[in-house]
Amino acid sequence: MRNWSGFLAGTDEAIVPLPDVMRIVSTPRHSARLNGKYVSSAPGYGPLFFENLKKVTNNASFWDPKAI
């Protein structure tokens, strides 16, 4: 990844191994999209997703949604 021509120095904390990406998207925010009740249930999915994202990325500032 660091050899990619588009890699930006100083963004190492953004690198997430594939198993960790799978952990991030394993919450209902992603896995429940086809359950027929996703839209009505979606507001409840955020807190678990963001908690999981924080754990998996070790709270790296790159992944902080508030920093966008």
Give the model confidence (pLDDT) of 3-62 as tens digits.
999 999 989 999 999 999 999 999 999 989 888 888 998 898 999 999 999 999 999 998
pLDDT band (50, 70, 90) for residue 65: confident
Residue 56: its pLDDT value, please?
93
Number of neighbours of residue 56 by Cβ within 10 angstroms: 19
Higher-confidence position of 48 and 67? 48
Task: Please enumerate in sequence order all residues whose Cβ is within 8 A of that of 55, keeping only pairs 6 or more positions apart, or say none.
Answer: none
Predicted confidence band of residue 1 (pLDDT cuts 50, 70, 90): confident
Three-state secondary structure string covering the chain: CCCCCCCCCCCHHHCCCHHHHHHHCCCHHHHCCCCCCHHHHHHHHHHHHHHHHHHHCCCCHHHCHHHC
pLDDT over 70 (residue 68)? no
